[in-house]
Amino acid sequence: MKSTVERIINFIDRLPPFPFVAMKIISMARDENISMKEIAEVVQHDPSITANVLKWCNSPFFGLRRKVTSIHEALVYLGIKYLIEIVMLSSCAPYLDKKLVGYELEQGELWHHSVACAILSQILAEKVGYQEKTLLFTGGLLHDIGKIVLGEFVKEALLKIKMLIARGKDFLEAEREVLGMDHAELGAKIGEKWNFPEEILRLIAYHHKPEETKDPAVALVHIADAGVLMLGIGAGMDGLAYKAKDEAYKLLGLKEKDLMSCMGDLWAELVEIEETIFRE
């Protein structure tokens, strides 16, 4: 009989690879001297990502006056930052836009949560003047990727997990105690398999433990995640049973009223993208 951890690792090995183009774009995004032409050439290699980028460019959200028909044109209109975000959104959607039985999340709920967290991390980054927003966006989007695998195992262990929550443990501790691994650690393992850069692995692995790194990006994703959970977006049967850490506020020099104000701005952005990202 295999241990639960072994079974979880087997599950990861069977996951399909992350789209090559998106991987390439992540590594290019770290290079400040990258040219629009180089990015356009990479994106064009993947027809489904190209089609998605064009669909989103032509959506009412961007409100462009003429129809965009090529990646090169899209880049000219949107700029590199938006283009990379759209590439990441369209690459991650197939993994995150799923029903997760163990967490009692209907299809679309984890996706909503992930997109909202990515956007709120950007709004908070703007507030504190944090610069490396592209990696932050991708990390915000993928922070809960471990749930897509762990969901299956959470379902089996639900009663034990609920008992631990009733005794005052948070959901992450309960996952670790019952299954031998939590969704943050597991998410980072998935990211390793997909060859994600160190910065993104750190965002995934520590998004519930910002006090263990002094990385402001981790603190931003932590607060964004808490804000989105408090809005009820993607809070399944785990609900809000996670610890929010004031160390993250201190590291960034933020206060609760800043988070509230940014949550108001998040609402406005979610309303704008609703039609494009959440309704096919």
Partner 1 sequence: MGKIVVGIADIKVSNNPEDTLITYALGSCIGVIVYDPVVKVGGLLHFMLPESKVNPQRAKENPYMFADTGVPLLFKTCYKYGAKKRRMIVKVAGGAEIMDEAGYFNIGKKNYAVLRKIFWRNGVLIRAEDVGGMVNRTVELDIVTGEVRLKITGQGIRKL
Q: With beta carbons less than 8 A apart as the criterion, state whether 110 and 147 touch.
A: yes
Candidate ranges 32-40, 181-189, 191-199, 235-243; the one touching partner 1 (CB under 8 A): 235-243
253 binds partner 1 per the rule CB under 8 A: no
Q: From 78-86, 125-133, 134-142, 233-241, give the range in contact with partner 1 by CB under 8 A.
A: 233-241
* Under rule CB under 8 A, residue 95 binds partner 1: no
Binding mask 23-52 for partner 1 (x = CB under 8 A): ------------------------------
Look up residue 86 and give its two tokens.
């759209």
At 104, is the secondary structure helix, strand, or coil? coil
Q: Binders of partner 1: how many residues, by CB under 8 A?
A: 33
- Work out whether 166 is an interface residue with partner 1 (CB under 8 A): no
- Compute CA distances 224 → 155, 243, 257, 278, whole Å: 26, 13, 14, 19
Handedness of CA 205, 209, 213, 215 (dihedral sign): positive
State which of residues 204, 237, 251, 252 lies at the interface with partner 1 (CB under 8 A): 237
- 260: contact with partner 1 by CB under 8 A: yes
The answer to whether 246 contacts partner 1 (rule: CB under 8 A) is yes
Query: Which pair of structure tokens corresponds to residue 161?
Result: 């997990």
Stretch that binds partner 1, among 86-94, 135-143, 144-152, 236-244 (CB under 8 A): 236-244
Question: Cβ closer to partner 1: 132 or 247?
Answer: 247
121 burial (CB, 10 Å; 0-12 / 13-18 / 19+) is: buried
End-to-end CA distance of the chain: 43
> For residue 234, what are the contacts with CB-CB under 8 A and spacing of at least 6?
105, 109, 110, 112, 113, 114, 116, 144, 228
Options 57-65, 89-97, 129-137, 249-257: segment touching partner 1 (CB under 8 A) = 249-257
Please give the residue ranges that form the binding site for partner 1 (CB under 8 A). 104, 109, 162, 165, 170, 226, 229-233, 235-237, 239-244, 246, 249, 256-257, 259-261, 263-265, 267-268, 270
